[in-house]
Amino acid sequence: MRPTYAVINLKKLKKNFLNIREKVGITKIMAVIKADAYGHGVEEVVKTLNSLKDKRPEYYAVAIPDEGVEFRRIKVEQPILVLEPFDVMQVHKLIENELIATVFTDRHLGILLEGTKKHRLENPGYRIKVHVKIDTGMNRIGIRFDEALGFIRNLNNDKNFLIEGVYTHFATSDEKNKDFSMLQLGRFNSILAELKKDKINIGIIHTANSGAILDIPDSYFNMVRPGIAMYGYYPSKETSESIKLDPVMSLISEVSSVKTIEAGETVSYGRTFKASRRTKIISVPIGYADGFSRGLSNKARAIINGKLYPQIGNVTMDRTMFNVFDDDIKVGDKVTLLGKEAGLEISAYDWAEILNTIPYEVMCGISKRVPRVYVN
């Protein structure tokens, strides 16, 4: 195995999930496991969550049909919602793998009708399960909130379909100011009230992402959708910490070379680091092809032997250098790039602040060529 690897602590994953379960009470949970479980490895993550037996997720969510196909390959039995739109080339994957489609246009409905024509002929009474996505202000995907009632009423009258759920997505639930989230929730509630008057059964209602789970209990309805929180991060530093979370992923490497350079000498492409005095530098076998972004150049740190050391020079594709001054650092010494060691911690938030991004992108960016090592 490579000396660079990601440690995935499954005990922490279970604890995070159970803490979410305790917070939401009897509300069902749709675990969001898209993007290879946010870079943690979908197979082991799902196996671990499903080991919780009666506390396991009631539903799973993926982004695209191919991810749902992978779930069925590893024998996931729970309902699986595909969050992203689909096209004609993908519809057979939904049908063959019993994946639930998100719909919000007549085009989606037409694709589903055409794709299931044979199945419906062979199975009289078969109805296509769907969840309707309502756009209450995110303005990404979904039927606009002021057009949603007509769409859902028409869908309810089409006996080829079964509305299994309706949902929306918050744009700012991770912000301290919840005014816009409350506006979205109000729009959504108004639609629900009208549907109730019409006696339309809309099945499962879900709106709460990780930020809303932490801070907006009125958005729980009968199912919530945790994503980043399961993996141990609050969605931003503006949310409460009403659930105890612990990062699941650590990123580890080792010292592969040690050399001394003289004052005035430079390091790496572009010569962006110049030594002010005689100093010792090390190289570590990780680079931007592994997810250690070039944007971290001359800004990141690593923990080695219980001490923080600065990264120096431009990060290269496969290798990164650190200044260890005059310390006794040897080839083979452990290097913690993300994680806790000797009372010190480097988190995805630290990288995110340097890169002007979010922990989601940091974790999803740890590439496939970094082996995942699973521990309990």
Q: Which residues are designated catalytic? A: 34, 269
Q: How far apart are CA 240 and CA 178, in angstroms?
A: 12
Residues 145, 188: contact at Cβ < 8 Å?
yes
Residues 6+ apart with CB under 8 A from 308: 301, 302, 344
Please work out, in degrees rounded to the nearest 5, the angle formed at the alpha carbon of residue 240 by the alpha carbons of 239 and 246: 95
Residues 290, 362: contact at Cβ < 8 Å?
no
Tokens of 376: 């309990």
- b/e string for 230-261 if b means 16 or more Cβ within 10 A? bbbbbbbeebeeebebebbbbbbbbbbeeeeb
What is the Cα 132 distance to its own chain's centre? Answer: 22
| Amino acid in the structure at residue 284 | V
